[in-house]
Amino acid sequence: MSLVDLKERLNDLKKKALAEITETEDLKKVNDLRVKLLGKKGPITEILRGMRDLSSEQRPQIGSFANTVRDDLTQAIAQRREKLEIIKTAKKLEKEKIDVTLPGAAVKAGQPHIIEQVISQIEKLFLGMGYQIVDGPEIEEDHYNFEMMNLPKDHPARDMQDTFYINDQILMRTQTSPVQARTMEKHDFSKGPLKMISPGKVYRRDTDDATHSHQFHQVEGLVIDKHVTMADLKGTLQAVAKTIFGESREIRLRPSYFPFTEPSVEVDVSCFKCDGKGCAVCKQSGWIEVLGAGMVHPNVLKMAGIDADVYGGFAFGLGPDRFAMLKYGVDDIREFYLNDMRFLTQFSQKG
């Protein structure tokens, strides 16, 4: 058998073997092919027996060509085995995998706390009227909390605001009024009037019960300008009442006393339960007390460095906790702070 014949037989073997390897879909059959094609009794060995008819110069040529064919088949078998093992592993993983993308327990969307809803409604109203919202420290100086509000030391009105003292001069604020005092000191009236509200938490040493808490919220408002009158105050508070309690609400002002305002008034709103006719909510009076207000006391202006002969203004303070209790018929202020979802989720609509 000639050199050309042997090479043709080896090429034919390689062609058929590669086709068979490519078509094999089973790992066991690939291993069987390896033994069949590359074993000592395989077709390559059988073809190489024809080398005895070749000359000594031709035998190395056919031997080298046969090794190349063997190497090509070995590589093809290894690649096919690797590919089939990857396919087998993928199928196994597909069959045994845990779908971690399955949805878990549904998480309900949250909402603002009912007191935050009321505060937000009030802030939105006053922002629309050109007021600024000012924050201040909850740990406050006695000077700003009391003295700048016309409450000197030993003033009897301090007893109504007994609070938590850190030392003789530092305390937990009893009202958000000190934010107003700090703002009045800094305000440049050459650039326009001062119109502000100061929402936030305040602290008083009260015994917690259905209507009292040692911690609660306030929103205090202040306007300082030239020619401010009680009529401006009443119109502002009328807007508050209609926004929180409904468009049909009316207010009335009753004389009262606060150290930082003169004259001072208590503000009532017509009962939203009975529309002013008289019921258990308003104690048959047709009116519900909601906040305190008044014209800023000249002493407060002077202590802030403001000329009381030129400027005047009004101030008011309301409790969002009380507003929420009245509006929604809550009879115990402690419900707002117990984090009971059964209670809080009743107030799904803002305001």
Clarify whether residues 47 and 181 are in a common domain. no
Question: Is there a domain that residue 254 lies in?
Answer: yes
Beta-carbon contacts of residue 297 (< 8 Å; ≥ 6 apart): 150, 259, 260, 261, 262
**Tens digit of each residue's pLDDT (9 = 90 or more) over 210-234:** 888 999 999 999 999 999 999 999 9
Tell which wins on pLDDT, 339 or 70. 339
Clarify whether residues 202 and 311 are in a common domain. yes
Confidence of residue 15 (pLDDT cuts 50, 70, 90): confident
Clarify whether residues 138 and 253 are in a common domain. yes
Clarify whether residues 160 and 86 are in a common domain. no
Clarify whether residues 192 and 145 are in a common domain. yes
Question: Is there a domain that residue 10 lies in?
Answer: yes
Could you tell me the two tokens for 170?
């530092």
Question: Is there a domain that residue 108 lies in?
Answer: no
Q: How confident is the model at residue 297, as a pLDDT?
A: 96
**Tens digit of each residue's pLDDT (9 = 90 or more) over 142-196:** 999 999 999 988 888 888 887 899 998 999 999 999 999 999 999 999 999 999 9
- At what angle are helices 230-245 and 114-128 packed, to 10 degrees? 140
Which domain-ending residue is among 96, 125, 149? 96
Question: Is there a domain that residue 319 lies in?
Answer: yes
Residue 294: name the closest of 245, 251, 322, 253 by CA: 253
Write the single-letter amino acid at 100: V
Clarify whether residues 126 and 90 are in a common domain. no
Question: Is there a domain that residue 170 lies in?
Answer: yes
User: Sign (positive/negative) of CA torsion 3, 4, 7, 8?
Assistant: negative
Compute the distance between CA of residue 325 and CA of residue 171 in angstroms, rounded to an integer. 28
Average pLDDT over residues 3-17: 77
Q: Say which CATH number the domain at 123 has.
A: 3.30.930.10
Q: How confident is the model at residue 220, as a pLDDT?
A: 96
Question: Is there a domain that residue 149 lies in?
Answer: yes
Clarify whether residues 227 and 90 are in a common domain. no
Confidence of residue 126 (pLDDT cuts 50, 70, 90): very high
- At what angle are helices 27-38 and 59-96 packed, to 10 degrees? 170
Highest mean pLDDT among 71-80, 194-203, 323-332: 194-203
Quote the domain boundaries for residue 89.
3-96
Average pLDDT over residues 99-124: 86
Number of domains in the chain: 2
Compute the distance between CA of residue 303 and CA of residue 190 in angstroms, rounded to an integer. 19
- Residue 127: pLDDT over 90: yes
- Residue 3: pLDDT over 70: no
- Residue 147 assigned ligand-binding role: no
Share of the chain above pLDDT 70, in %: 95
Confidence of residue 37 (pLDDT cuts 50, 70, 90): confident
- Residue 349: pLDDT over 60: no
Clarify whether residues 153 and 74 are in a common domain. no
CB 269 within 8 A of CB 251: yes
Clarify whether residues 196 and 291 are in a common domain. yes
Confidence of residue 351 (pLDDT cuts 50, 70, 90): very low
Clarify whether residues 81 and 118 are in a common domain. no
Which domain-ending residue is among 62, 96, 130? 96
Q: Which of 7-16, 153-162, 242-251, 285-294 has the lowest mean pLDDT?
A: 7-16
Clarify whether residues 130 and 34 are in a common domain. no
State the average pLDDT for the chain. Answer: 88
Q: How confident is the model at residue 232, as a pLDDT?
A: 96
Clarify whether residues 128 and 270 are in a common domain. yes
Which domain-ending residue is among 63, 96, 129? 96
Compute the distance between CA of residue 133 and CA of residue 198 in angstroms, rounded to an integer. 6
Label each residue of the chain as H, E or C. CCHHHHHHHHHHHHHHHHHHHHHCCCHHHHHHHHHHHHCCCCHHHHHHHHHHHCCCCCHHHHHHHHHHHHHHHHHHHHHHHHHHHHHHHHHHHHHHCCCCCCCCCCCCCCCCCHHHHHHHHHHHHHHHCCCEECCCCCEEEHHHHCHHHCCCCCCHHHHHHCCCECCCCEEECCCCHHHHHHHHHHCCHHHCCEEEEEEEEEECCCCCCCCCCCEEEEEEEEEEECCCCHHHHHHHHHHHHHHHHCCCCCEEEEEEEECCEEEEEEEEEECCCCCCCCCCCCCCCCEEEEEEEEEECHHHHHHCCCCCCCCEEEEEEECHHHHHHHHHCCCCHHHHHCCCHHHHCCCCCCC
Question: Is there a domain that residue 351 lies in?
Answer: no
Q: How confident is the model at residue 47, as a pLDDT?
A: 65
Question: Is there a domain that residue 277 lies in?
Answer: yes
Average pLDDT over residues 27-38: 81
**Tens digit of each residue's pLDDT (9 = 90 or more) over 62-108:** 777 777 877 888 888 888 888 888 888 888 888 887 777 777 788 87
